[in-house]
Amino acid sequence: MAEILLFHHLRGLTDGVRALADSLGAAGHTVHVPDLFDGERPATLEDGSALVKRIGGDVLDQRADRIAADLRPDLVYAGISWGAAIAQRLAQTRPGARAALLYEACLPVTGEWAIGPWPDGVAVQVHGMEQDPFFGLEGDVDAARELVSIVGPERGELYVYPGDRHLFTDRSLPSYDADATAQVVSRSRDLLARLG
């Protein structure tokens, strides 16, 4: 069974994020869902961005690093939107990662904005909507295509869903898409099962 560290999006640790964690853990996996915002639940993505600026990106990264350091090294890092960037950074920089589940965001792995190369042997699965203004229309899907091509078909997968919603995997928000989320969960569980 896998041990998963799932990071929330800019709206905070909502009931929908917890529900996604429960769905991933239903097959017997352990899922840790830290609250990097210490209980704050921004009402909008803009409010969430403002909160990140107020707390400080470095402080939030340090919080995530401390949480990861207290767990075993062979984690599956997962995240939704803003949280996917944290998950990707840890998967790329913390030795021992097994895989990354990146929901609704993906950072470049080459070029000037890249964190660095993708580690050998680390699987990745990326999910997002084709017309999502952030994932589909701001370049994340292109970064995801490049990432899975680098990782290769045995360990890299990209799933693009029809629609234009952001945070579609959070059932506590109006943007929720139950059918797409069911596919996300099923495909994520398949990857986790393949990890052994």
Domain boundaries, the chain: 3-195
The DSSP symbol for 28 reads S
Amino acid of residue 154: E
Question: Domain 3-195 falls in which CATH fold?
Answer: Rossmann fold (3.40.50)
Q: 78-127: per-residue pLDDT in tens?
A: 999 999 999 999 999 999 999 999 999 999 998 888 888 999 999 999 99
CA 163 to chain centre: 19
Q: 37-78: per-residue pLDDT in tens?
A: 999 999 999 999 999 999 999 999 999 999 999 999 999 999
Question: Which pLDDT belongs to residue 115?
Answer: 85
Three-state secondary structure call for residue 181: helix
Query: What are the CA-CA distances from residue 193 to residues 27, 55, 77, 147, 170 (Å)?
Result: 9, 37, 15, 21, 23
Question: Which pLDDT belongs to residue 126?
Answer: 98
- pLDDT of 196 over the 80 cut: no
Q: 138-190: per-residue pLDDT in tens?
A: 999 999 999 999 999 999 999 999 999 999 999 999 999 999 999 999 999 99
Confidence band of 27 (pLDDT split at 50, 70, 90): confident
Contact 108, 89 (CB under 8 A): no
Question: Which pLDDT belongs to residue 141?
Answer: 97
Specify the DSSP element, H or E, that contains 126. strand 123-129
Six-digit token pair at 133? 């203004």
- pLDDT of 8 over the 90 cut: yes
Please choose, from the candidates 180, 84, 171, the residue with its C-alpha nearest in 3D space to the C-alpha of residue 125: 84
